[in-house]
Amino acid sequence: MSSQSCEICGPKRISRALCNCCQQYLCRDHLQEHDDLLNAQVIPLVDNINQISDRLQQFDINFLFEPIRIQLDQWKQSAFQSIEHIYEQKSNQINQFINKQLKNLREQTEQTQKTIEKLVQQQDATHEQIDNLITKIQNIEKEINILENKSIEVDIHPLILDDSYINFNIEQENDDDNNQLILTPIIQTIVSSSDNCNCVSSNDTYILLNRHSTLYLYDHNLNLIKESNPYSDLSIIDICWSSTINRFLILTNDDVFILNQIKMILEKSNIPSRTNGHWHNITSSSKTLYLTAYKWGTFIYQFNINLFQFEFNRRWQTPLTCNKDQSIDHFIHNNKNELAMIIQNKFNYNKYFQLKNDQTLECIWSYEINQCQMTIHRNRFCLIHQNQWLIINSNQSKLLYFNQNGLFKQIINYDFNQPICAIEIKQNFILVITNHSINLHQLLSNI
């Protein structure tokens, strides 16, 4: 084997070794020199990492947190002030009511006292005057008894807060591809028939559902609060909640009603009754109401909400809503300027899950639902986690999970009767209406 020359010295010197770092044949001197150069580069790294370690040891977390804490304290103080303002306002309201009653009784008493004193001085009272005075005194006593025993009904809504009220603009690791939902066993259930029990809606406090034309108001633990059967022949086909007017909206074949959930009384809205065909779906954003009419080539009607009045704004029709041989099976507004909807074909029953802009109906994404066969019920779905979706596959007793980008992520087998519709009632809790029961579950994520 022939000797290799040092690649730095040339033929003058024979190499002693192959340097593994630079793959060069070097003599002893240059090999040592090369080694010294490499070692010299390590020494600054030691100093550098030691400086970083010192900085981390001296890092003042309070300095970083202080401006955030100030904002949190301001929010807390503002929230307390809002609560205190409402408390004082309602306290003054009830005090004024009671004082008004007392003032009226005192005035009646003083007037009666003066009348009696006058009669005593004059000593010429008649039987009629005495009878009138006795009646007045008895009436005053009766009103005082009523006031003392008066039961004033107070309807106090629980103040429900969750961590979505405060969000930090920080990046968090979230492997969406591996995100799977976990449906817990039934937490609470109500035995029920499927007949006319596919309409449900909720707000921060209550759940409203319809069975056999009767409206049932539950709390989030499925405790029955009130029930009402305003019209025995009323065919309720959909329900939604409007945060703008703080009321549930009830959709029938022909009309939209406003429900006073305190008195459980229905009031017909100013939206004209439908005389040609029937209404089909209702949903609401913070300021706008949307309705669909039951027909192929579905129309969507948009109304602006102004107090308890609904002002017609526009009507969309095919092809913006769907094609002429398609219809909108169900739609929901997500309060993010978007309408989600299931569209089905008239001839081949193909179904599409779409998200559209709520002002232009421009399609943001669309997914053909091969997993969802035609069912005797409308294919319903619900909004979860603010911007994700669960589609109810009644025929196969499955829940289809889609993320915010319209990607199909997971099939959840539902082993608790046949699901018909569902709704998220509070963060991570879902209510599923089945053919035999109403079931409350928790919906968890594995990441």
pLDDT of residue 348: 77
pLDDT of residue 196: 55
In terms of Cβ atoms closer than 10 Å to its own Cβ (0-12, 13-18, 19+), residue 148 is exposed
Model pLDDT for residues 252-273, shown as the tens digit of each residue: 999 999 999 888 899 999 999 9
Is residue 14 over pLDDT 80?
no
pLDDT of residue 52: 81
pLDDT of residue 301: 95
Model pLDDT for residues 360-396, shown as the tens digit of each residue: 999 999 988 865 555 545 678 999 988 899 999 888 8
Tokens of 370: 């091969």
Q: DSSP assignment of 359-422, as one string?
A: TT--EEEEEE-TT----SS---EEEETTTEEEEEETTTTEEEEE-TTS-EEEEEE--SS-EEEE
pLDDT of residue 332: 95
Is residue 172 over pLDDT 50?
no
pLDDT of residue 79: 85
- Phi-psi domain of 361 (left: phi exceeds 0; alpha: psi -120 through 50; beta: other): left
Question: CB count, 10 Å around CB of 8?
Answer: 16
| Residue with tokens 């009671």, as numbered in its chain | 98
Return the closest-CA partner of residue 310 out of 340, 282, 341, 277.
282
Q: How many Å from the N-terminal Cα to the C-terminal Cα in the chain?
A: 62
pLDDT of residue 371: 56
CA angle in degrees (0–180, nearest 5) for 250-252-254: 130
pLDDT of residue 173: 44
pLDDT of residue 160: 67
Q: Please compute the mean of the pLDDT values over residues 123-127 and round it to a whole number.
A: 82
Is residue 21 over pLDDT 70?
no
Is residue 114 over pLDDT 60?
yes
pLDDT of residue 162: 62
pLDDT band at 1 (very low <50, low <70, confident <90, very high): very low
Of 163-172, 332-341, 344-353, 387-396, the poorest mean pLDDT is in: 163-172
CA angle in degrees (0–180, nearest 5) for 369-370-374: 85
